[in-house]
Amino acid sequence: MNSVSTALQVANRLAGVDEGIEPGPERKVPRRTDGKLDQIRTQARSADDRLSENRDDLDAIARPESVSADMLRRRLTDALSLSRLLQSELTFANIAPVWLHRFGVTLKQYPKIIAAAARAIHVTADIFDWAHHKWIAYQENLLKITTRSSSRRCN
C-alpha cells in the first residue's frame, strides 16, 4: 500500500499536480486479543481456498485465447492477492486499522466484480449455443438441398 501511495505521489509531482499536504504514516495499534482477528484470518484462508479452487477449475476448462476467461481469472487472482495481503497484515503484532478497512471495503466489491466477469463468459456461451444450433440447422438444410438436387439428377 505504501509503495503504491509513494508511486502515486511521485507521479503527481512529475505531472505537476499539487495534492496539498501529504499524509503521514498510517497509525498502528496493537493487535486485538479477543479472537476476532483469528476468526477473520480463518475466513480469509477459507476464501483463499475457494478462490484458488475456482481459478484452477477455470484454468482447466478455459480456452487460452478467451478474453472473457482471462478477465475472470484476473479478477479471481486480484481477490486472492487481496485476501493474502489481509492475512499478512493480521500476522503483525501492530496493525494499521485503516489498511484492514481498505482491504475489507475492496474485498466486499469483488463478489460483484467476479460475478460480472462470469456473466460475460455466460453470455459468450449463450451466443455460442445459439450459433451452434444455427450452424447445425444450416448443415441440415444444406444436406437436404444437396440430397434433393442429387436425386433429381439421378432420375
Which pLDDT tens digit goes with each residue over 137-155? Answer: 777 777 777 777 666 666 5
Q: How far is CA 120 from CA 56, 99, 108, in A?
A: 19, 31, 20
State residue 1's pLDDT score.
53
In a domain, 102, yes or no: yes
Domain assignment present for residue 51? The answer is yes
d(CA 118, CA 113): 9
Tell me what the mean pLDDT of segment 122-135 comes to: 71
- Read off φ and ψ for residue 82, nearest 5 degrees: -60, -40
Q: Does 150 reside within a domain?
A: no
**What's the confidence (pLDDT) of residue 91?**
81
> Mean of the pLDDT values across residues 102-127?
82
Q: Which domain holds residue 128?
A: 2-144
Write out pLDDT tens, residues 1-29: 556 566 666 666 666 555 555 566 677 77
How much is the average pLDDT of 97-106? 82
Of the candidates 91, 108, 51, 93, which has an alpha carbon nearest to the alpha carbon of residue 74?
51
CA distance 96 to 26: 6
pLDDT in tens, 23-45: 666 777 777 778 787 888 888 88
How many structural domains does the chain have?
A: 1
**Residue holding cell 482447466?**
60
DSSP secondary structure string for all residues of 112-133:
HHHHHHHHHHHHHHHHHHHHHH
Classify 20 in phi/psi space as left (phi over 0), alpha (psi -120 to 50) or beta.
left
